[in-house]
């Protein structure tokens, strides 16, 4: 297994002290692989936003460790650089700067990253196209709908092509159709760019569109539910294997390099595909010519 993108070890966060102390996080451990799209759910006040803030280096833990992309956040030399380059934030409130246009808002994270102003503008325009809002480049946030503002926030989060997007209740203020569009956009980014996405949500539909749901309660993770498609897992194993790489690289005679494990995976995949075809044939109207399957 490769190194997870996010590794959280026994993380705690206490706000205040003495009688009024609040244990917002109470020993959370969690790993997130590159390319995952996961939802964090749980009742109000259970620590979801606190956890997201820790992953984005927006807040300091009381105890425990957070590693992102191989770096211990407590030992980051340049926190601003980390926030600008590795993470894109999409939060429900205080999203956009009200006096800047949509285009200018998307440009903000690219400032101070060594890009010329023309390059920034071009990239911001491309990102507005990605979220379907190129036609609103010159509008102020107050001239946009809630859903459009969220899409601008996503374009802004993508500005520096981050490894990770952290979204806190991104659909919270949206009607169901805008919510679904936003979700489709996040899904698409996850699939097409492999961006890892952690989304805090109360919305069951949002959570169901992800591949993994982490539930929290009272500052702890109480459930970690993954939807794993066994065939997809096998295909992924195959793609990562020497054989898979050889096939993808179009090397000569890749089968000659196959190890016994790879052969077993390949056989399982082929058997399953074969089984699916048989099921399919069995649901066709009988032709009277086919032998019954054993």
Ligand X SMILES: Nc1ncnc2c1ncn2[C@@H]1O[C@H](COP(=O)(O)OP(=O)(O)OP(=O)(O)O)[C@@H](O)[C@H]1O
Binding residues (CB under 5 A) for Mg ion: these are 49
Q: Least CB distance from residue 169 to ligand X, whole Å?
A: 7
50 interacts with, out of Mg ion, ligand X, none, CB within 5 to 8 A per kind: ligand X
Nearer to ligand X, 53 or 148 (CB): 53
Residue from the set 10, 15, 229, 261 that interacts with ligand X by CB under 6 A:
15
The pair of structure tokens assigned to 176 is: 């169901």
Q: Which does 44 bind (CB under 5 to 8 A by kind): Mg ion, ligand X, none?
A: ligand X
Q: Tell me the window of 38-46, 65-73, 125-133, 250-258 that interacts with ligand X (CB under 6 A).
A: 38-46
Q: Which is nearer to ligand X, 59 or 234 (CB)?
A: 59
Minimum CB separation from ligand X for residue 44, in Å? 3
In angstroms, rounded to a whole number, what is the distance separating the alpha carbons of residues 182 and 91? 13
Contact 189, 117 (CB under 8 A): no
22 touching ligand X, by CB under 6 A: yes
> Out of 30, 37, 41, 46, which residue is the one contacting ligand X (CB under 6 A)?
46
Confirm or reject binding of residue 138 to ligand X (CB under 6 A).
Answer: no
Distance CA 293, CA 109 (A): 61
* Phi and psi torsions of 26, nearest 5°: -135, 70
Written as one string, the DSSP assignment of 203-221 is -HHHHHTSSEEEEEETTEE
Task: Give the shortest CB-68-to-Mg ion separation in angstroms.
Answer: 20
Does position 24 interact with ligand X (CB under 6 A)? The reply is: yes
Q: Which is nearer to ligand X, 17 or 228 (CB)?
A: 17
Q: Is the dihedral of CA 58, 64, 68, 70 positive or negative?
A: positive
CA nearest to 170, candidates 192, 190, 148, 189:
148
Contact 178, 146 (CB under 8 A): yes
Indicate whether 56 belongs to the interface with ligand X (CB under 6 A). no
Q: Which is nearer to ligand X, 218 or 234 (CB)?
A: 218
Coil, strand or helix at 127: helix
Determine, following the binding rule CB under 6 A, whether residue 44 of this chain makes contact with ligand X: yes
50-76 per-residue burial string, b: 16 or more CB within 10 A, e: under 16: bbbbbbbbbeebeebbbbbbeeebeee
User: Hunting for tokens 């996961």 — which residue is that?
Assistant: 38
Which lies closer to ligand X via its Cβ, residue 45 or residue 138? 45
Distances 30 to 1, 6, 66, 188, 223 between C-alpha atoms, Å: 16, 8, 9, 24, 11
Listed ranges 40-48, 82-90, 130-138, 205-213: which one lies at the site for ligand X (CB under 6 A)? 40-48
Per CB under 6 A, residues contacting ligand X are 15-16, 22, 24, 42, 44-50
């Amino acid at each position: 297994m490769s190194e997870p993108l996010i590794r959280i070890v026994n993380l705690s966060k206490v706000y205040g002290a003495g009688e009024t102390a609040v244990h917002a996080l109470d020993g959370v451990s969690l790993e997130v692989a590159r390319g995952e799209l996961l939802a964090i759910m749980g009742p109000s006040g259970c620590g979801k936003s606190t956890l997201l803030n820790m992953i984005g280096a927006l807040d300091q833990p009381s105890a425990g460790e957070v590693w992102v992309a191989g770096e211990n956040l407590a030992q980051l030399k340049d926190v601003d650089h980390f926030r600008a380059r590795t993470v894109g934030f999409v939060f429900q409130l205080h999203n956009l700067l009200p006096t800047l246009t949509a285009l200018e808002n998307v440009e903000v994270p690219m400032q101070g990253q060594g890009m010329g102003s023309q390059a920034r503008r071009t990239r911001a325009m491309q990102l507005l196209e990605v979220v379907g809002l190129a036609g609103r480049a010159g509008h102020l946030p107050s001239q946009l709908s809630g859903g459009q503002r969220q899409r601008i926030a996503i374009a802004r989060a993508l500005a520096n092509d981050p490894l990770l997007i952290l979204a806190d209740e991104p659909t919270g203020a949206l009607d169901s159709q805008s919510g679904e569009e936003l979700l489709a956009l996040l899904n698409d980014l996850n699939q097409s760019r492999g961006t890892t996405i952690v989304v805090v949500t109360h919305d069951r539909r949002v959570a169901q569109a992800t591949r993994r749901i982490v539930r929290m309660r009272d500052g702890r993770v109480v459930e970690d539910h993954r939807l794993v498609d066994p065939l997809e897992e096998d295909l992924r194993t195959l793609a990562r294997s020497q054989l898979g790489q050889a096939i993808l690289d179009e090397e000569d005679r890749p089968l000659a390099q196959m190890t016994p494990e790879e052969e077993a995976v390949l056989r399982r995949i082929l058997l399953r595909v074969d089984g699916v075809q048989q099921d399919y044939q069995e649901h066709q109207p009988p032709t009277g010519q086919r032998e019954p399957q054993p």
